[in-house]
Amino acid sequence: MLLRIAAPLLSAVLFYFGTGFAPIPALTWLAPLPMLLLAPRASGRATFLAAFLAFLLGMTNQLEFFLRTPSVPRPIGIGIIVGCSLLFGLAVCLFRALARRGLLLLAACAPPALWVGSMYLTVLANPTGIIWPLATSVADVPAVIQIASVTGAWGVEYVVMLAPATLAAMLWPGAAAAAWLRTGVVGAAACLLVLVFGAVRLAGADSTAWRQVAVLSATRYQWAPDAASPGGKALVQEYVKEIAGLPPGTGTVVLPEGTLGTDEASLGPALAPLREVARDRNVDVVIGVVHTTPRTKYNYSVDLPADGSAPVYYAKWHFAPGEPFRHGDELVFAGDHVGLANCMDLNFPAPIRDYARAGARLMAVPAADEFGNGRQHSRMGLLRGVETGLSVAWAAQWGTPTISDPWGRVLAERDTEGTRKPFVMAFADVPSGPGPTVYARFGDWFAWLCLALAAAGLVALRSVPRQPGRGVGGQGAVLQGAAGQEEPARG
């Protein structure tokens, strides 16, 4: 009973500090382990309940956000928390069931596949997309996340689950020597392959400067203030002053989502001072504008070209349910190889994969973000850049304006919270990148592979009977022979 209480509590603590808005990456890998080690020592029902509660308690690190955020409807937010907890419970039960049948290798590989495959299917129907719970937690470990360039971030999510599952399978009571060795070799080889691939890809990274980029954000959250109001006009002038002070040679500066709110009468006058400073400083200015017309509303990312030509408008593709905006469906470039997107757009593979295939080298992304989740969402953008081979300039209103390169290295970032300065600015030289990645070209093939592997694990439950002596309590090192002598456990 003590073990059944201690294991889920320990796992919950590890999930709490290893995931969420301020994760400790080392703890992310350890978080599933206590529940996997409990599996052979508890009944199936107790194992599921303990794993469900462990993940649910760990997710309380984001509960306040999901209860308060306007970006994710509350039913969807609660569904994310409860659904992920149920899925973790099912994954641990699948691990237990396969290991009890002596299928240790499948026990190590299939539960992570069930986790990834189920999450992928859920995301296909989720209007708010995904922010990977495990992949974003280790996003600051460049050697690990390089695999996303081949598998998408699904591969990162998978390997973070695979490592503890492999260790737990090797520690299963009564494991046969051949199964133990096979599981250890395959699991260790997979994890080592990820690290070696990451090291090689990072070693070949080209850091040659292609374009100097800046992200600029006011530190007071103002969602789409009326551009025609005194406050809106003052804000424009403050941004003009900040842009005028950019370092020489800056090619692109990105401002947040919803920097201004405009209508047909105020749009031109509001952008005029920004267009002038863009021309004077020879810099492309990308700004988020919420624009209202008599018929509809648009959430725009607007490029004000350095040559003084007409503004270029990108309409945001993805919104939370109920938002009164018209959805965009077109790729829009800001000058030479710079694609425009907007905040929640990067919760989805499109449009960023489309930009990569169309020749983009940098994504300019005005973003809003909210209390607490700014760092996590910026890492979402960083992972999308690794997936597709693009640099990402992420300008958040309330969070962590960040510039990352195609290898997921943070080149510069600033926090809008915890400072008394009226503006924060980060700037860096970004490389042109390696071009479209395997993932950019072939999409979510790894997620489908995970679905097939999870299905194989479920089929094995029906076709392979549970072996005697591998039940609750950890027995199974030996089986009693017919004559009362002990003989080695088989399987």
Residue 169 has pLDDT above 90, yes or no: yes
Give the span between the Cα atoms of 436 and 349, in whole angstroms. Answer: 13
* Per-chain mean pLDDT for the chain: 92
Give the span between the Cα atoms of 246 and 252, in whole angstroms. Answer: 10
Give the span between the Cα atoms of 217 and 414, in whole angstroms. Answer: 9
Residue 101 has pLDDT above 80, yes or no: yes
Give residue 320's pLDDT.
85
Helices and strands, number each (H, E), in the chain? 17, 14
Give residue 207's pLDDT.
87
Give the pLDDT mean for 351-358. Answer: 97
Give residue 465's pLDDT.
84
- pLDDT grade, residue 313 (50/70/90)? very high
pLDDT digits (tens, 9 = 90+) for 111-152: 999 999 999 998 888 888 999 999 999 999 999 999 999 999
| Proportion of the chain above pLDDT 70, given as a percent | 95
Residue 267 CB-density burial (10 A; 0-12 exposed, 13-18 middle, 19+ buried): buried
pLDDT digits (tens, 9 = 90+) for 142-160: 999 999 999 999 999 999 9
Give residue 404's pLDDT.
97
Question: Residue 461's CB: how many other CB atoms inside 10 A?
Answer: 17
What's the pTM value of the predicted model, to 2 decimals?
A: 0.91
Contact call for residues 39 and 469 (beta carbons, < 8 A): no
| Proportion of the chain above pLDDT 90, given as a percent | 82
Helices (H), 171-216: 177-203
- pLDDT grade, residue 467 (50/70/90)? confident
Nearest CA among 118, 119, 110 for reference residue 165? 110
Residue 484 has pLDDT above 70, yes or no: no
Give the span between the Cα atoms of 365 and 288, in whole angstroms. Answer: 9
Nearest CA among 248, 244, 250 for reference residue 212? 250
What are the φ and ψ backbone dihedral angles of 288, each rounded to 5 degrees? -90, 125
Domain 211-433 sits in CATH at 3.60.110.10
Instruction: Give the distance between the most distant pair of CA atoms in the chain.
Output: 95
- Asked which of 107-111, 129-133, 239-243, 276-280 is least confident by mean pLDDT, the reply is 129-133
Please state the domain extents for the chain. Answer: 2-204+445-488, 211-433
What Rg value do the Cα atoms of the chain yield, rounded? 25
Q: Which residues 6+ apart lie within 8 Å of 457 measured at CB?
A: 94, 98, 106, 107, 109, 110, 111, 113, 114
Residue 358 has pLDDT above 90, yes or no: yes
Q: Tell me the DSSP string of 129-178.
A: ----TTTGGGTT-HHHHTTHHHH-HHHHHHHHHHHHHHHHHHT-TT--HH
- Give the type of residue at 140: D
Residue 273 has pLDDT above 60, yes or no: yes
Residue 228 has pLDDT above 90, yes or no: yes
Give the pLDDT mean for 453-462. Answer: 95
In degrees to the nearest 10, what's the CA dihedral of 150, 110, 40, 80?
Answer: 70
Nearest CA among 69, 84, 163, 68 for reference residue 116? 84
Give the pLDDT mean for 81-95. Answer: 97
Contact call for residues 328 and 315 (beta carbons, < 8 A): yes
Give residue 472's pLDDT.
55
C-alpha distance from residue 406 to each of 363, 409, 410 (Å): 10, 7, 10
Query: What SS3 state is found at 42?
Result: coil
Give residue 322's pLDDT.
82
Token pair belonging to 419: 């400072």
Give the pLDDT mean for 45-74. Answer: 92
Range 371-397 burial, b when 16+ CB lie within 10 A, else e: ebbbbbbbbbbbbbbbbbbbbbbbbbb
Question: Residue 460's CB: how many other CB atoms inside 10 A?
Answer: 17
Residue 488 has pLDDT above 80, yes or no: no
Residue 279 has pLDDT above 90, yes or no: yes
Give residue 147's pLDDT.
98
Give the pLDDT mean for 68-95. Answer: 92
Give residue 470's pLDDT.
55
Q: How many residues does the chain have?
A: 491
Give the span between the Cα atoms of 215 and 351, in whole angstroms. Answer: 21
Give residue 419's pLDDT.
83
Residue 450 has pLDDT above 90, yes or no: yes
Give residue 475's pLDDT.
41
Token pair belonging to 446: 């790894």
Contact call for residues 132 and 387 (beta carbons, < 8 A): no
Token pair belonging to 372: 């607490």
Residue 477 has pLDDT above 70, yes or no: no
Give the pLDDT mean for 355-374. Answer: 92
Give the span between the Cα atoms of 144 and 198, in whole angstroms. Answer: 6
Q: Are strands 362-367 and 338-340 parallel, antiparallel or unpaired?
A: parallel
The answer to whether the peptide bond before residue 351 is cis (omega within 30 degrees of 0) is: yes
Question: Residue 265's CB: how many other CB atoms inside 10 A?
Answer: 10
Give the span between the Cα atoms of 85 and 32, in whole angstroms. Answer: 12
Query: What SS3 state is found at 217?
Result: strand
Residue 453 has pLDDT above 90, yes or no: yes
Give the pLDDT mean for 450-458. Answer: 97
Q: Tell me the DSSP string of 260-280.
A: EEEETTTHHHHHHHHHHHHHH
Give residue 289's pLDDT.
98
